[in-house]
Amino acid sequence: MTAADLNRVRQWLKEARFVVVLTGAGVSAESGVPTYRGAGGLWQGSDFRELASLEGFQRDPKKVWAWYNERRRQLKQVRPNPGHYALAELERRLGGFALITQNVDRLHQAAGSRNVVELHGNIWEVRCTRCGRVEDRTGIELPAEPHCSQCGAWLRPNVVWFGEMLPEHAWQRAESWTRQADLFMVIGTSAEVWPAAGLIHLARQSGARIVEINPHETAASSLADVILRGKSGEILPQLLDAPQPGSSASPEPAASG
Ligand code: NAD
Ligand code: ZN
């Protein structure tokens, strides 16, 4: 990542009419929340199909709840990091800004982001497997076997599991925002989970500039106009600075002697 790349993105943020950001687990990594894939990833050592699928839940709801209750305890301890706060600040500063997240931890909202769509639900709500009733149980310790207060059926975490459809309203908003974006930033996601990853392609087809922020190459890298290689908690706060004169983003050569 060069100073010119950073500056180019600062300039684009200034020019953009509608900025859309797509985030993934990497944005929360610096808060101490493990990502799914890669070293130290959440799935390492456990069979994720058993923990994050309806079939696994139906086979052994107690086991799935033991895992989610442990994650809820862990997430209760974590706080947003400078990347989350910088995105909330961008939203306050820019006229048009929307955030689409695959994260289930609600750290964007905790940092002050308002215009947020959760594509994969969130870990704090529970949903009844029979009557569909959704309840917000943020920060509350749940029983080992949570059941619906209305109909008595098993409750489940209100997250999207493998093989499940995304919540329709969330997906429609995400698609509509993406079509309107003139700057689309892909931050901390491996871009391997569909249909979320399809939004990057849609943004490109719609003519948006694409910026990736991620320490590693991803499935989105080949679609990006500028790649800022590094941690979102370090790079995003730097984007709040005004474009720096002198390290011009345009291809003009620097004045020479
Ligand atoms: P992923 O685990 O597939 O990919 C994480 C990405 O983050 C990787 O590309 C990695 O290089 C990058 N990364 C790691 N550290 C980073 C940092 N400091 N700054 C920026 N990027 C960093 O996660 P995903 O793409 O979000 O997709 C998988 C699924 O994981 C989603 O469905 C999501 O719901 C779920 N998930 C959510 C959380 C959470 O809510 N915090 C945590 C784990 C998984
Ligand atoms: Zn019920």
Fill in the amino acid letter for 79: R
The strand pair at 226-228 and 116-118 is best described as: unpaired
Which residues sit with Cβ closer than 5 angstroms to ligand 2, an ion? 128, 130-131, 148, 150-151, 153
User: 244 with 7: CB under 8 angstroms?
Assistant: yes
- Please give the mean pLDDT across all residues of the chain: 92
Determine which one of 108, 120, 147, 201 is catalytic: 120
Summarised one tens digit per residue, pLDDT across range 225-246 is 999 999 999 999 999 999 988 6
Q: Which bound ligand lies closest to the C-alpha atom of 32?
A: 1
C-alpha closest to that of 113 among 4, 202, 187: 187
Summarised one tens digit per residue, pLDDT across range 134-178 is 999 999 999 999 999 999 999 999 999 999 999 999 999 999 999
How many angstroms does the Cα of residue 148 sit away from the middle of ligand 1? 31
Between CA 80 and CA 83 the distance in angstroms is 8
What is this structure's pTM? 0.92
Does residue 120 have an active-site annotation?
Answer: yes
Counting residues of the chain whose pLDDT is more than 90, the rounded percentage is 86
